[in-house]
Amino acid sequence: MSSLTDIAIRVLRQREVGLLLLIIVVTAIVSTVDPGFLAVGNLKDILVRSAPTAIVACGVMLVVVTGEIDISVGSLMALLAALMGLLISRHEWQLSMWVGIPAVLLCGTLIGLLTGTLVTLGKVPSIIVTLGLLTALRGATTLLMRGENIDGLPEGLQSLAKSGIGGLPLSVWTAMGVLMFTGVIITHTALGRRLFALGSSAYAAKMTGLSETRLKLFAFAYTGFLTALATVVDVPRLPKIESGIGNGFELLVVTCVVVGGVAISGGRGRLVGVMLAVVLLTMVRPVLTFLDVGEAGEKWTKAIQGLFILLAVITDTVVSRRPTGSARGPVPVKPSSHLESEGAPA
Amino acid sequence: MADPLIHVDRLCKSYVGVHALADVSLDIRAGEVHALCGENGAGKSTLIKILSGVTRSDAGTVQLEGKPLPAGDVHATEDRGVIALHQESTVFPDLDAVDNLFVGCELRKWRGLLLNRAEMRRQTLALLERLGENIDPTRPVGELPMAQRQMVAMARALARRCRLLIMDEPTASLSARETQVLLQLVRQFRSQGVSVLYVSHRLEEVFQVADRVTVLRDGHHVDTRDIIDVDHAELIRMMVGREAAELVGRHHSKSAIGETVLQVRGLTRSDSFHDISFELRAGEVVGLAGLVGAGRSEVARALFGIDHYDSGTVTAAGQRLPVGDVAAAMKHGLALVPEDRQHEGLVLPMPVSSNLSLSVLSSLTRCGLVSRSRERELVQQQISALSIKTAGMEVAAETLSGGNQQKIVVGKWLASRPRVLILDEPTRGVDVAAKAQLHRLIRQLASEGMATLMISSELPEILSVSDRILVMREGQLAGELEGATATAEQVLALALPEEREVSVSS
């Protein structure tokens, strides 16, 4: 095998490198077509659009790392948005922001806990539980809103969400905070290591005395909490709250997690990869706009995002099938020293 | 005599009405190596699981230095210094060595909020060095060879203040040389005052390392003896509860050797083996010996078409087999019973019957539907022919003991009536009686004209079953020996790397 393919494989195995290259190439192409793509306003727009996805992906990534999945975050966002509207809009119950927002965060966490409980104690596969919740929560939202949109959120919250602090809206600051916090959990806490351990081998985890129930409850509750957080900081940007909020959001988040290199079977994945995937997938729409494909742009966004999933899975398969990889089964060991085995006879 | 470190009093445990342990009492002294022997299903695994806090007993107590151990709590048990290395590898394949060593008992800083990564890394390196292993601590452990994974699991126990180390079949996946290194480590543990409960089917190891031995049979405590008071045959007698003289000695009920059915010429795969040539004739058993990592399994996998090879030819019954085509190999009468039966040989959650008929489903099919009655007939036949112990043909394969699972794997391939049978470590983790049955089965198949290639890391097995012995060393064929006259020393001499210190003790 030529060393060039070897290098290519090694590079592709680092998902982050591939994603970064893709982002750079796409940006380069689009900005030659229209330099306006690199305008501060546009870059900021991409950042703002990716913020809620980034926040929630931090949670869903941890769920996937434990070997489970959550495809209900879109509907959960809609329900929590409706709840927030009901609680604090001046046309509804007019509660103080300082009561309403903690209530929304608590509610999101509790629904996450409920999901986790059904999965761990109820022993229902998470794909089924969250598929059920995807529909049920959307239905609950419709009931809660009685078919009407809600506006009139507190001015302060709206302006924080739109223009924000230091030129960046609240959602971007929140995303940065959540990212750092999640990063610390993953690399610097026992909790994070144990989540990965559980996803890597449930059997070994059991034999080590790790609590599968507690770890998975945390992952789901954290996802619920982050979905609530994303709702609170991002939804007030919109002129009004509609029942269709978050439609397809759950799939976008899962796509980011998978494209970002998190193994769907659990145990493997890096936050940097997921975040690059969030940026890449958020770019799809603005890129199509700048390429001026007109009406087609709207239609192609989803198709292209879907293609990324397939691309990610195919790269995974092709790359790991190469003999240099860590295929299952016996790995040849030379009983000789490392130096000798390096120069193995051809 | 001083008080025992561990006092096990009248433990009972049953699973769905079957007694796994009945009134088992046992003392483990401080600083002794205590061997635990018994056939599969004797209750060893259950005892270990209770001792290590993985499961609770139905009745009875375990005391450590006079104070009861918390039941069913792995954490608390490990905190008291009782640490188990379980039979199935309990490493986390996606985590690196550092995380594997410390997950569950992480070193922390900042009032326990954050991990002390630097310190964990430092201790890991020190421990691996103490084990004499050159392991890259940043590589996912799943990418390491089996022997090194085992070392990581050992290091995990070392990382804790260990009073009793429980080792369940620790050498099952190690070569002879690596086994000696491990036994040396066990002695090192003992000299530091750590007690070791050593569970192994390999009796030679028990005699080499143990101070005392306890035998379990069918969930009952048979006896505990000083090792110097028992010999090999007596130990086997205690385990099987019957005369087992037939287990020892060579078979060599010479079967008629027929024509060549498989010819391998110059088989090469650059990263694992080079220029492998040999022939298999009808009615002979050829043993393929060598150290773990010599490339034996790789050769088997390549010639059966699971993996690709770079050059060379495989010819079965005059027909050259295409590279990397399992279906073609099967069509030409080849069958492979893989080493890793949990992953490659069995569909564990599926019933015994489906596992046995899986390889011959097409011959049981009429008008596109599987004939259940013909399947039942075939399965019943296999179960009795191989004397598989199962609660029925519809129970999940994973509920059977290791030896019986292995028999199913063999039975599954025999159902397809192969002419060439490749067995990769056919008796790994299997108890003495089942091992003898499998050996008899292999000889019987040979006398019926089957050509068998048997990979094994156990020298007695190679010597007792083979007509011819091929020895591999570092990816090459090192030599061939006559089965009837070969000695363990000859095989080992060929298998060990040249110009190298053969002695293993430090």
- B315 and B409 co-located in one domain: no
Specify whether the CB–CB gap between B227 and B213 falls below 8 A.
Answer: yes
Does residue A342 form part of some domain? no
Q: What's B295's domain CATH number?
A: 3.40.50.300
Q: How far is A228 from chain B (nearest CA, A)?
A: 25
Q: Which residues in chain A touch residue B84, judged by CB atoms under 8 angstroms apart?
A: 207
Q: Which residue of A has its CA nearest to B297?
A: A330
Token pair of B428 as six digits: 């790994």
* B270 interaction partners in chain A (CB closer than 8 Å): 344-346
Q: Are A73 and A56 in contact, with CB atoms under 8 Å apart? A: yes
A154-204 confidence digits (pLDDT tens) = 888 888 888 888 889 999 999 999 999 999 999 889 899 999 999 988 888
- Is B84 in the A-facing interface, judged by CB distances under 8 Å? yes
Return the half-sphere exposure (C-beta side, CA atoms, 13 A cut-off) of residue B449. 7
> In angstroms, what CA-CA distances link A123 with A117, A133, B241?
8, 16, 43
> Which parts of B323-362 are beta strand (E)?
334-337
Per-residue pLDDT, B89: 65
Residue B186 in contact with residue B33, Cβ under 8 Å?
yes
User: Would residue A328 count as lying in a domain?
Assistant: no
Examine residue A41 and state whether it is found in any structural domain, yes or no.
yes
Whether the CB of B92 is below 8 Å from some CB of chain A: the reply is yes
* Average pLDDT over every residue of A224-251: 93
**Domain annotation covers residue B254:** no
- Print the domain residue range for A291: 15-26+35-319
pLDDT in tens, B441-465: 888 888 888 899 999 877 778 888 9
pLDDT given at position B254: 62
A204 vs B497: CB contact, 8 Å cut-off? no
- Alpha helices (runs of H) in B59-202, residue ranges in sequence order: 74-79, 97-102, 117-130, 146-158, 176-191
Cα–Cα dist B498/B506, whole Å: 19
Q: State the Cα–Cα distance between residues B450 and B416, nearest whole angstrom.
A: 12
pLDDT at B73: 85
Q: Best of B105, B108, B174, B474 to disrupt the A interface by mutation (most A CBs within 10 Å)?
A: B474
Lowest mean pLDDT among B17-21, B192-196, B333-337: B17-21
- Is there a contact between B115 and A193 if contact means CB atoms under 8 Å apart? yes
Q: What angle do CA B95, B96, B99 make, to 5 degrees?
A: 75
Task: Select the residue of B102, B114, B292 nearest A188 (Cβ to Cβ).
Answer: B114
Domain coverage including residue B165: 6-243
CB A84 within 8 A of CB A235: yes
Do B34 and B61 belong to one domain? yes
- pLDDT, tens digit (0-9, with 9 covering 90-100), for B250-284: 655 566 788 899 999 999 998 889 999 999 999 99
Indicate whether A272 belongs to any domain: yes
Q: B342-378, pLDDT tens digit by residue?
A: 666 677 777 888 878 777 777 777 777 777 888 888 8
Using CA atoms, how far apart are residues B408 and A274, in angstroms rounded to an integer?
44
Query: In sequence order, which residues have a C-beta less than 8 Å from that of residue A32 and are 6 or more positions away?
Result: none
User: Do B304 and B424 sit in the same domain of this protein?
Assistant: yes
Q: Determine the pLDDT at residue B252.
A: 57
A96-111 pLDDT, tens digit per residue, is 889 999 999 999 999 9
Structural domain total, chain A: 1
Sort strands B67-68 and B59-64 into parallel, antiparallel or unpaired.
Answer: antiparallel
Q: Please tell me if residue B103 touches chain A, with a CB cutoff of 8 Å.
A: yes
In a mutagenesis test of the A interface, which of B92, B114, B144 is the best target, namely the one with the most A β-carbons within 10 Å? B92
Query: What would you measure as the largest C-alpha separation in chain B, in angstroms?
Result: 74
- Could you identify the residue written with the tokens 């198949």? B445
Any domain includes B501 = no
Q: Taking the CB of residue B350, how many other CB atoms lie within 10 A of it?
A: 13
pLDDT in the model for residue A52:
96
Separation CA B417–CA B450 (nearest Å) = 9
Contacts of B92 in chain A (CB under 8 A): 196-197, 200-201, 204-205, 267
Are residues B96 and B197 both part of a single domain?
yes
In a domain, B37, yes or no: yes
Cβ separation of B293 and A333 shorter than 8 Å? yes
- Of B53, B145, B343, nearest to A331 by CB-CB distance is B145
DSSP letter (8 states) at residue B499: T
Q: Are residues B93 and A334, on separate chains, in Cβ contact within 8 Å?
A: no
Report yes or no on A58 lying in a domain: yes
Query: Within a domain: residue A339?
Result: no
Read off the CATH number of the domain in which A250 is found.
1.10.3470
| Calpha distance A65→A117 (Å, rounded) | 17
Q: Give the span between the Cα atoms of B417 and B377, in whole angstroms.
A: 16
Nearest CA in chain A to B76: A209
pLDDT of residue B35: 94
Q: What percentage of chain B carries pLDDT values higher than 90?
A: 17
Phi, psi of B468 (to 5 degrees): -130, 150
Chain B residues closer than 8 Å to A189 by CB: 113-115
pLDDT tens profile B99-150: 888 887 788 888 778 888 888 888 888 888 877 767 888 888 888 877 778 7
Domain identity same for B319 and B443: yes
Q: How far is B92 from chain A (nearest CA, A)?
A: 6
Cα–Cα distance for residue pair A116/B204, rounded to 1 Å = 50
* Any A CB within 8 A of B504 CB: no
Q: Residue B246's pLDDT band (boundaries 50, 70, 90)? A: very low
Contact A232, A109 (CB under 8 A): no
How much is the average pLDDT of B182-208?
Answer: 86
Q: Is A32 in contact with A95 (CB distance < 8 Å)?
A: no
Query: Given CB atoms, is B143 within the 8 Å cutoff of chain A?
Result: yes
**Are A104 and A205 a contacting pair, CB within 8 Å?**
no
Q: Which of residues 469-488 of B touch A (CB under 8 A)?
A: 474-475
Q: What's the pLDDT score for residue B344?
A: 63
The rounded mean pLDDT for chain A is 85
Q: Using the predicted structure, report yes or no on whether residue A257 has a pLDDT greater than 90.
A: yes
Q: pLDDT higher for A292 or B473?
A: B473
Residues B318 and B364 in one domain: no
In which residue are the tokens 């390889």 written? Answer: B359
- pLDDT-based confidence at residue B201 (cuts at 50, 70, 90): confident
Q: HSE on the CB side for A83, CA within 13 Å? A: 22
Q: What is the mean pLDDT of chain B?
A: 82
Q: Kindly report whether the global pTM for this prediction surpasses the value 0.95.
A: no
Which range among A220-224, A225-229, B57-61, B142-146 shows the weakest confidence by mean pLDDT?
Answer: B142-146
Domain assignment present for B504: no
How many interchain CB pairs under 8 A, A with B? 123
Task: Provide the angle, in degrees to the nearest 10, between the axes of the packed helices A170-188 and A40-65.
Answer: 40
pLDDT at A176: 96
B115 and A188 in contact by Cβ < 8 A? yes
pLDDT tens, B395-447?
887 777 777 787 888 877 777 778 999 998 888 767 677 778 788 888 888 88
Q: Does A321 touch chain B (CB under 8 A)?
A: no
Q: What is the pLDDT of residue A320?
A: 59
- Contact with chain A for residue B104, Cβ under 8 A: yes
Q: Is residue B103 domain-shared with residue B201, that is, in the same domain?
A: yes
B380 in the same domain as B234: no
Instruction: Sort out which chain B residues have CB atoms less than 8 A from A340's CB and list them.
Output: none
The pLDDT value recorded for residue B16 is: 57
pLDDT value at position B242?
Answer: 52
- Residue with structure tokens 């390491």? B144
Contact A208/B291, CB-based, under 8 Å? no
The chain B residue lying nearest A262, using CA atoms, is B94
Number of domains in chain B: 3
Whether B109 is covered by a domain: the verdict is: yes
Q: Among A333, A337, A339, A341, which would you mutate to test the B interface (most chain B Cβ atoms within 10 Å of its Cβ)?
A: A333
Q: Which amino acid is at B408?
A: I
pLDDT tens-place string over residues B57-94: 888 888 888 888 888 888 888 888 898 887 666 788 88
More confident residue, A159 or B20: A159
Residue B249 has pLDDT above 60, yes or no: no
Task: Please tell me which residue of chain A has the smallest CA distance to B140.
Answer: A326
SS3 letters across chain A: CCHHHHHHHHHHHCHHHHHHHHHHHHHHHHHHHCHHHHCHHHHHHHHHHHHHHHHHHHHHHHHHHCCCCCCCHHHHHHHHHHHHHHHHCCCCCCCCHHHHHHHHHHHHHHHHHHHHHHHHCCCCCHHHHHHHHHHHHHHHHHHHHCCCCECCCCHHHHHHHHCCECCECHHHHHHHHHHHHHHHHHHHCHHHHHHHHHHHCHHHHHHCCCCHHHHHHHHHHHHHHHHHHHHHHHHHHCCCECCCCCCCHHHHHHHHHHHCCCCCCCCCCCHHHHHHHHHHHHHHHHHHHHCCCCHHHHHHHHHHHHHHHHHHHHHHHHHHHCCCCCCCCCCCCCCCCHHHHHCCCC
Which tokens sit at A261? 């290199």
pLDDT, tens only, A31-68: 998 888 899 889 999 999 999 999 999 999 999 999 99
- Containing B22, the helix (H) or strand (E) segment is strand B18-28
Q: For residues A283 and A301, what is the distance between their CA atoms, to the nearest angstrom?
A: 10
How far B215 CA sits from the closest chain A CA (Å)? Answer: 25
Nearest to A335 among B73, B89, B293 (CB): B293
- What pLDDT score does B474 carry? 82
Interchain CB distance below 8 Å, B73 and A209? yes
How many other C-beta atoms are found inside a 10 Å radius of the C-beta of residue A155? Answer: 10
Would an 8 Å CB–CB cutoff place A212 in contact with chain B?
no
> Do B150 and B232 share a domain, yes or no?
yes
Task: Assess if residue B339 is contained within a domain.
Answer: no
Is residue B277 domain-shared with residue B365, that is, in the same domain? no
Q: Are A267 and B54 an interchain contact pair (Cβ–Cβ within 8 Å)?
A: no
Helices and strands: H and E segment counts in chain B: 16, 24
Q: In B, which residues are within 8 Å of A207 by CB distance?
A: 52, 54, 74, 84, 86, 90
Whether residue B478 lies inside any domain: the answer is yes
Which residues does residue A311 pair with via DSSP β-bridges, in sequence order? none
A206: Cα separation from own chain's centroid? 28
A343 vs B: CB within 8 A:
no
Domain membership of residue A7 (yes or no) is no
Residue where a domain terminates, one of B417, B452, B476: B417
Inter-chain contact A267–B93, Cβ cutoff 8 Å?
A: yes
Residue B449 DSSP SS3: coil
Question: What pLDDT digit, counting tens, does each position of A325-339 carry?
Answer: 333 333 333 333 333
State the pLDDT at residue A27: 92
Q: Does any domain span residue A10?
A: no
Convert the pLDDT of each residue in A260-292 to its tens digit: 989 888 888 999 999 999 999 999 888 888 887
Whether residue B338 is contained in a domain is answered as no
Instruction: Examine the domain organization and report whether B227 and B294 are in the same domain.
Output: no
Answer positive or negative: Cα dihedral of B322, B323, B324, B326: positive
A162 close to B (CB below 8 A)? no
CA of A309: how far to CAs of A128, A260, A315, B64, in Å? 21, 10, 10, 54
Q: Are the Cβ atoms of A209 and B91 closer than 8 angstroms?
A: no
Interface of B with A in 331-370 (CB under 8 A): 339-340, 343-344
Q: What is the pLDDT of residue B405?
A: 80
Separation of alpha carbons A18 and A270, rounded Å: 14
Residue A184 touches chain B, beta carbons under 8 Å: yes
Measured CA to CA, the distance from residue B360 to residue B338 in angstroms comes to 17
CB atoms B103 and A197 under 8 Å: yes
Is the Cβ of B54 closer than 8 Å to some Cβ of chain A?
yes
pLDDT for the residue A181: 96
Interface list for B 145-174 with A (CB within 8 A): 145-148
